[in-house]
Structure 1
C-alpha cells in the first residue's frame, strides 16, 4: 500500500487505472512507455475506481493487483495500490502527494488517447497538465483525439514532438506528447463481457 521507492534524478512513469481487468493492451503501453520515454521505473497504479465511471462491477483491489502482476513482468515496473490507502480519488491529489514526498524525481503521466478525449472532465485538469509532463499513447479509434480534444487544443503550444519523447520526463510542464506505435484494440469492458481474451489471442 506504500509508494515505491525512487532515487532523485530518476525518470518515473505514472500509469494509473482501474485495470478491471488488465490486458495485453495495458502491457503494451507499459512496455512502449519504458522504451520510448527511457524510464528508470514505471509505477503501475491500481486505483480504487474512476470517479467518471460506474464502479458497480469493479473487482477487489487484491484481485486486480494480482492480475496486473501476472500480465507484466518487467523488473522496472512497480505495482502499487497506495491511492486506496490514502483514499485518493482524483489524479490531482495523487500528484500533489507524490511530488511532495519524492523531491527530485522526474514524473511523467501516462495515458491512452481514449482518455485524452475526456481529459477536460477530470477534476482540475489544467492543474494536472501544469504539474506533470504527459505522454499520450495511441489507441484504436482515438488517434485524432490529440487534434480534437480540449486539452490538446488548450496546450497545443506545449506539445513535444514524439521524436523527443525521451526528454519529456525532465521537461518543465506543461509539456506533452502523442506517441504513435503498436496499438491494441482490447478493452477491459469487452473482456468483462466475455467478448475478448485478456491475452489478446
Structure 2
C-alpha cells in the first residue's frame, strides 16, 4: 500500500485501549461519550495482546477477546478495531504505541481467517502451499509504519480507510488516572496525547480532580473530562466472576463454580445489565471463563509459545476451531490435575493446543503431509488431520517432543496404548465445555473417577454416532475398545 500524505484538515481519533475481557456496556458508554465530543472524529479500539501490568495468566486469550470485540464494536459507526497493540506476544506500552501511530504513513487490513466463516476441513479446506505462505502474514514489519485494522467478511471486498490522524486522544475511565504514574515512560506519555476521561463514580469528583491536577503538575498531563449524566459502573473482573458461577452443572467445574458464587459480592454485575446484546450467548457457548486460572502450572515460556502459535492459527483457522482448541487445552489441563499430576502442564498444554493444527487443511493437503496413508485409515479421511497434524506440529510449530506428537497423531481414534497424554487429549477433545452434541454427562462424570472408563464410554459413543450417521468407522475401533476394557478389568483385579 503506497504512502498517504497527511491532509491539512484536522482528523482526530480517540484511542481506547484495554484487555476487553470481556467488553461491556461501560466501554460502549465511554465510546459513545467520546463520539459526542466536538474534537473526536472516530474512536479506535485497541485490544491489548499482552499488557505489561498483567501477566499472560490474567487475561483470556486474544482470540476470545478479539471475537468479543468484533461482535460488540464491529458494526458501530465511527468505531474501528485497531490491531497495532494486539498481535505481539511481548508486553506492549502505550508510549511506544503512540509513537508508532504518530509515525504511520499508511494503512493495512488484517485478514484474520479465524473470524471468517470458512469451511475448515474436507475438500473445502486449505491447501498446504497457501497455509505455509500465509502463516506469518499477521506479523507487521515495524519499519512499514502501518496502522492495522481488523476486518471480517462484512468489510470485504474493500476496506475504506479514513484520513491519517493529525491528533490522538487517549480515552479512559477515571480509575485509570490513579494508575498512570506506574505506566512506562509516563513523562513521554504526558507529552504525546491528551487524555479524555470519563468519571466512573468510584471516587468522589473532588478526589478525581485533585489526582488530575497532580498529574498535570508532576508530569505535564493534559486531561479533559467527558460530561455525561449517567455513569456506567460495569467491571470486567466482576463479570468474569459471574461466569465462573455458571458451570455448576458441569461435573468438572462445579466445585470452582460454587466457590465463585460464594465470592460474588459486586451487586448488579450481571450480563443483563452490563453486556451488549448477544455477547452473553457467545460467552456461554464458547466458555472463555471456566475458572479463574485454567492455565495454572504452565510456564511463562510455554504461555508465550502458545500465544505465538495462536497468532499463526489466526491466519488459517475458523473462529469455531480456534476457540474449540482453547477449551480442549483447558479441559486437558483440568483432567491432568485430577488424574496425571506427574505429567508436566507444559506438555499437556502444548499437546492439546496443537491437536487440531491440521484440521483446517483439505484431505489432499493432509495426505501430502502424511506421505503414505496407513492402510486402515485409507477410507476414513476425517481422521487424517491427526497424523498430518503430528507432521505439521514438527515442521511448522517446532514441536519435537515425541510424546506430544504421538498424542496429536492419535487424538481422534486412540490406539492400542494407554499413554496418559494421548488419553487426556482424546477425552478433552470430546467433552470440552463448548461441546453440545449428544449426552456428554455420563462421560464427563466418568472422567472424575477413571480415565479408562471415560475412554471406553467415549469410544463407544463415537462408534455409535458414526454408524448412526452413516460415516465410516476407523476399522480397529472395536479392538481398541476391547483393549481398554481388558485394561480396566486388569486394574480392578490388581486393586
TM over 0.5, shorter chain: yes
Q: Which position in structure 2 is the counterpart of 1:168?
A: none
- C-alpha spacing 1:6/1:22, structure 2 compared with 1 (3 Å): farther
Q: Which position in structure 2 is the counterpart of 1:17?
A: 18
- C-alpha spacing 1:157/1:107, structure 2 compared with 1 (3 Å): same
* Residue 60 (structure 1) shift: 1.7
- C-alpha spacing 1:175/1:12, structure 2 compared with 1 (3 Å): same
Q: Which position in structure 2 is the counterpart of 1:107?
A: 168
1:179 pairs with 2:179: no
Q: Which position in structure 2 is the counterpart of 1:148?
A: 210
- C-alpha spacing 1:120/1:157, structure 2 compared with 1 (3 Å): closer
Structure 1 counterpart of 2:96, from 93, 97, 102: 93
1:28 pairs with 2:29: yes
* Residue 175 (structure 1) shift: 2.8
Whole-angstrom distance in 2 between the partners of 1:155 and 1:38: 21
Whole-angstrom distance in 2 between the partners of 1:146 and 1:6: 40
Q: Which position in structure 1 is the counterpart of 2:80?
A: 78
Whole-angstrom distance in 2 between the partners of 1:139 and 1:19: 17
Give SS of 1:98's match.
Answer: helix
1:45 pairs with 2:53: no
Q: Which position in structure 2 is the counterpart of 1:165?
A: none
Question: Residues 99-118 of structure 1, C-alpha deviation per residue, up to 9 Å, x if partnerless?
Answer: 11157521111111000011
Unaligned runs of 5+ in 1: 159-172
Q: Which position in structure 1 is the counterpart of 2:193?
A: 132
Whole-angstrom distance in 2 between the partners of 1:6 and 1:85: 26
Q: Answer yes or no: is the 8 Å Cα contact 2:30–2:198 preserved in 1.
A: yes
- C-alpha spacing 1:128/1:37, structure 2 compared with 1 (3 Å): farther
* Residue 127 (structure 1) shift: 1.1
- C-alpha spacing 1:174/1:117, structure 2 compared with 1 (3 Å): closer
Give SS of 2:45's match.
Answer: strand
Give SS of 1:190's match.
Answer: helix
Q: Which position in structure 2 is the counterpart of 1:164?
A: none
Q: Answer yes or no: is the 8 Å Cα contact 2:170–2:194 preserved in 1.
A: yes
Structure number with bigger Rg: 2
Whole-angstrom distance in 1 between the partners of 2:31 and 2:6: 20
- C-alpha spacing 1:18/1:48, structure 2 compared with 1 (3 Å): same
Give SS of 2:103's match.
Answer: helix
* Residue 57 (structure 1) shift: 3.7
Q: Which is richer in strand?
A: 1
Whole-angstrom distance in 2 between the partners of 1:7 and 1:15: 22
Q: Decide which moves more: 186-195 or 64-73.
A: 64-73
Question: Residues 19-65 of structure 1, C-alpha deviation per residue, up to 9 Å, x if partnerless?
Answer: 11110010110011011244221110000133223441411212211
Q: Answer yes or no: is the 8 Å Cα contact 1:12–1:40 preserved in 2.
A: yes
Q: Which is richer in helix?
A: 2
Q: Which has the higher contact order (CA 8 A, sep 6+)?
A: 1
Question: Residues 139-185 of structure 1, C-alpha deviation per residue, up to 9 Å, x if partnerless?
Answer: 12134453232x53141599xxxxxxxxxxxxxx8532122422111
* Residue 192 (structure 1) shift: 0.3
* Residue 81 (structure 1) shift: 2.2
Whole-angstrom distance in 2 between the partners of 1:6 and 1:84: 26
Q: Answer yes or no: is the 8 Å Cα contact 2:13–2:42 preserved in 1.
A: yes
* Residue 69 (structure 1) shift: 2.4
Q: Which position in structure 2 is the counterpart of 1:119?
A: 180
Whole-angstrom distance in 1 between the partners of 2:19 and 2:50: 5
Q: Answer yes or no: is the 8 Å Cα contact 1:191–1:198 preserved in 2.
A: yes
